Amino acid sequence: MQKNKNFKVAPMGHASDTIISYFLGGLSMVFVLLSIVKSIISKGHVERVYGVLLVSAFVMSVTGILFGIIGYRAEEGSLFGKKVSIVINAVAFALAGIFMLKGI
């Protein structure tokens, strides 16, 4: 029996791009939720800073999607974790976009 010299076994780990994607998606969701809660508490009369938070959440979620796609192509890490990071950023992207267009 001949051994295949090209076969490599790598320890299970996490793709660093996926971790960055999780961080950006989580922070983006925090910004969106903070803006929504502040809007509910103040009955729609919010300062400009909450609009800036939504714009930054939108930009971070786009960046997180890009990092998630880059991490998806990496060899290390599980596919489930990579898909979840993309989904988290896609949800944050949709929420930030909806509330930006709606104008909280």
Of 96, 60, 100, which Cα lies nearest the Cα of 68?
60
pLDDT digits (tens, 9 = 90+) for 61-91: 999 999 888 888 877 777 888 889 899 999 9
Q: Which of 14-18, 44-48, 52-56, 63-67 has the highest mean pLDDT?
A: 63-67
Indicate the number of domains in the chain.
1
Residue 22 is assigned to a structural domain of this protein: no
43, HSE (Cβ side, Cα atoms, 13 Å): 0
The reported pLDDT for the residue numbered 5 is 63
Instruction: Give the angle 48-40-51 at the CA atoms, nearest 5°.
Output: 20
The reported pLDDT for the residue numbered 11 is 55
Residue 93 is assigned to a structural domain of this protein: yes
Residue 82 is assigned to a structural domain of this protein: yes
Residue 51 is assigned to a structural domain of this protein: no
Residue 34 is assigned to a structural domain of this protein: no
93, HSE (Cβ side, Cα atoms, 13 Å): 15
Residue 66 is assigned to a structural domain of this protein: yes
Mean pLDDT of the chain: 82
Residue 73 is assigned to a structural domain of this protein: yes
The reported pLDDT for the residue numbered 49 is 78
- Note down the domain range covering 95: 57-104
